[in-house]
Amino acid sequence: MNKRATLLSLVIAFGSTQALGNSSTIRAVTEKSPITEQSERDPRGGAATRFVDRVLHDTQLPYRLEFMPWRRGYHHARADKNVMIYPLARTRGREKDFHWVGQLIPINYYFFKLKSRDDIQVSTLEDARAYRIGVVNYHAHHELLLNNHFEQLQAVNSNAQNLKKLLLDRIDLFPISGGGALALCKSTGIDCNQIEPVLRLDDISGGLYMAFSLNTPDDIVSKARESYQALVANGRHREIFQSRLNSIELFNRTWPQVHSVRTHQ
């Protein structure tokens, strides 16, 4: 791990010294995933955390970054003061539940299946109801399926668990973003040619964002938005996320049939 990654890990673990013991400290919460955490297998990962760290640093407000299971972080972001959550899918159902700061990356979500499972046929969301589906607790796709009264859901704490369960024939489908699937295969060492997208979930596709809890003071939200816009304007945003943005082209090369994949509307 390089010096920069080591320094960031210390920031994540302990926060800034001025933040300790300060009740107005911003808590930036997220889960461990390829876009939030670097690893030996994926040393260029963690782009979202690097960017959020930069945004909050430039506000000159005290803050700390925390990893936790998504369900717990989502609960804090819905209930507590001064909590930022990322990367959060911006859906119609969530629009009024958060103060939205800015988009991290554009995103499309898909149901994925094993390429070898020709018996699985999914042309509509209703078709998917017949199958065992792996979800991550309170991710946007979990909320979508709960709202549509799906029953065969198996909730876990990470997409890595769902991918392994798919390979073990313990689930039939699991939803994940295109770029997220590629990053997940890289971080786990699993060949992405074993899986394929079968249905795009348009209701939750759009973008992953940084967002604050509703009871966060307006001045904190405004400072974060100003910092975000400055980093977009000076090109730092694109620089940090360039690898992830390039994954869109890689996604199309890995699954050239993606343009004919049906969409859920």
10 and 138 in a single domain? The answer is no
Residue 195, strand partner residues: 114
Tokens (6 digits) for 20: 């300790």
119 and 152 in a single domain? The answer is yes
What's the pLDDT score for residue 31? 93
Q: How far apart are alpha carbons 112 and 117 in whole angstroms?
A: 11
In the numeric block, the tokens 């699937």 are attached to 181
The mean predicted confidence, pLDDT, of the chain is: 87
Residue 234, strand partner residues: none
Measured over the CA atoms of residue 109, residue 113, residue 116 and residue 120, the dihedral's sign is negative
Domain count, the chain: 2
67 and 121 in a single domain? The answer is no
What's the pLDDT score for residue 84? 98
What's the pLDDT score for residue 255? 80
Dump strand ranges (E) for 138-227: 153-156, 174-177, 195-201, 206-213
169 and 212 in a single domain? The answer is no
69 and 121 in a single domain? The answer is no
Mean pLDDT by 10 residues, the chain (265 residues): 43 41 81 83 79 96 95 95 96 93 93 95 94 94 94 94 96 92 88 92 91 96 98 96 82 70 61
163 and 37 in a single domain? The answer is no
DSSP for residue 169? T
What's the pLDDT score for residue 18? 41
pLDDT tens, position by position, 86-139: 999 998 889 999 999 999 999 889 999 999 999 999 999 999 999 999 999 989
Q: How far apart are alpha carbons 181 and 98 in whole angstroms?
A: 26
In the numeric block, the tokens 């925390």 are attached to 66
Q: Where are the alpha helices (DSSP H) in 131-171?
A: 140-147, 159-167
13 and 69 in a single domain? The answer is yes
169 and 85 in a single domain? The answer is no
Q: How far apart are alpha carbons 13 and 36 in whole angstroms?
A: 14
222 and 117 in a single domain? The answer is no
Q: Taking the chain, what is the end-to-end CA distance rounded to the nearest angstrom?
A: 43
CATH number at residue 125: 3.40.190.10
Measured over the CA atoms of residue 74, residue 76, residue 81 and residue 86, the dihedral's sign is negative
97 and 210 in a single domain? The answer is yes
Neighbours of 123 (CB within 10 A): 11
Q: Which domain holds residue 56?
A: 3-107+206-246
99 and 210 in a single domain? The answer is yes
Q: How far apart are alpha carbons 173 and 114 in whole angstroms?
A: 8
What's the pLDDT score for residue 42? 63
90 and 64 in a single domain? The answer is yes
What's the pLDDT score for residue 15? 43
